[in-house]
Amino acid sequence: MHDIEKEIRESKSGMTMIVKTIVRFAMGIIILFGAYIVLYGHLTPGGGFAGGVILACGYIILTLAFGKDIALRKLSDQGASIMDNSGALAFIVIGLLGYTGGYFFLNFIDHGKRFELFSGGIIPLCNIAIALKVTASLFAIFIALAIFGKFISGLVEEEE
Amino acid sequence: MDLFLLILLVFMIIGSVIAIETKNLLSSVISVGVVGFSLSIMFLMLGAPDIAITQMVVEILILVILIRATITTDNTAIERHADTFSVISSLIFFGLFLIFAFLAVHELRPFGEPLMRVSKTYLATSAEKTGATNVVTGILLDFRAYDTIGEATVLFTSVVGAFVILRRRGRKHKRESDTEKVGILEDADIKKDFKGF
């Protein structure tokens, strides 16, 4: 952990010290807000898609402020693709589990009390699956456009 | 309320016209952002906070991606050809659009009184059938979960497309058929060929 801190402080990539400091404070709040929007999606406005986009924005801010090396260490493109696929698989598996009671996407879990966090059956689980998927895929699209795309435009020479 | 919505609409139209007409790509992207944020405020005022949140967040993401993309690639101002054919054809299509829009708007119900045959049932029974107090999420993930799967598939396909087209370098598998097609011969092959002479 200490090595990463030192490396972040010494690395020249990314934006200035002011941006890096503010992003370090704001990052936790952004992730917390995104998680709140996802987990309370069945009670208050929001849901898996909106919360997932907020989480993806958090990672994108990290990429813009600290440069691609440190951001890709937090969530690499391989990791993003695994997260994307597991989210999609989880969503489909939840749908298929509905066949235990009759049909596709049956809300087979007990609905619980209204206005409670653990209520709504499969809906919070679906929200979490979609949030995983949206976070990973939007971050992956950003990586592809901003980092891979540089090599295509020819403005930046290939590193390897 | 209606006046405020009209002002926002005019603001959005001005923003989109500027986005098309301006030469600078960066200011064009910012004008697109103006349109999106005004749309988000409109959704908020019309009582759709779910869509307002999604619209605002997606707009921020798109602005970041577009600014990043327009800065890294070449800024080329598109030159305009004042072609008589394009002017006449666009005028004709705009006239056709006006005629059909006039006919279609007459068939629409007045603003604020939508036809709610299916959605009445959803509104009435969503809370007890799904257990979710947010009706929008209840509809999206319970009544209409198939549509959500379609949306997830669209996102998945777009990611696969972006990775395939923009990945760092193509995968190179050296196959024997490739060397034969291009006609590249290894040293050993050349020696083998020349042995016959």
- List Cα–Cα distances, A63 to A31, A58, A135, A146, B132, in angstroms: 14, 9, 14, 10, 36
Q: Count the neighbouring beta carbons within 10 Å of the beta carbon of residue B129.
A: 16
Per-residue pLDDT, B180 = 44
Per-residue pLDDT, B41 = 94
Per-residue pLDDT, B171 = 55
Return the higher-pLDDT residue of B61 and B67.
B61
> Residue B131 and residue A121: Cβ atoms within 8 Å?
yes
pLDDT at B110 over 90: no
Mean pLDDT of A25-42: 93
pLDDT at B130 over 60: yes
Residue A55's SS3 state is helix
pLDDT, tens only, A113-128: 888 888 888 899 999 9
**How near does any CA of chain B get to the CA of A146, in Å?**
6
Per-residue pLDDT, A134 = 93
pLDDT, tens only, B167-177: 655 555 555 44
Domain map (residue ranges) of chain A: 2-153
What residues have CB less than 8 Å from B98, skipping those under 6 apart?
Answer: none
pLDDT, tens only, B133-173: 888 888 888 888 899 999 999 989 988 888 887 765 555 55
> Residues 165-184, chain B: which have Cβ within 8 Å of A?
165-169
Cβ contacts from A onto B, under 8 A: 164
Domain map (residue ranges) of chain B: 1-73, 126-170
> Residue B159 and residue A43: Cβ atoms within 8 Å?
no
CA distance B132 to A117: 10
Per-residue pLDDT, A111 = 83
Mean pLDDT of A90-97: 92
Per-residue pLDDT, B76 = 56
| Residue of B159, B167, B171, B172 to mutate, testing the A interface (most A Cβ within 10 Å of its Cβ) | B159
Per-residue pLDDT, A76 = 84
CA distance A119 to A113: 6
pLDDT at B194 over 60: no
**Structure ipTM:** 0.82
pLDDT at B179 over 50: no
Q: How does the average pLDDT of chain A come out, rounded?
A: 84
Per-residue pLDDT, B184 = 43
Beta carbons of A73 and A7 less than 8 angstroms apart: no
| Residue of A111, A143, A156 to mutate, testing the B interface (most B Cβ within 10 Å of its Cβ) | A111
Could you tell me which chain A residue has the CA closest to the CA of B158?
A: A141
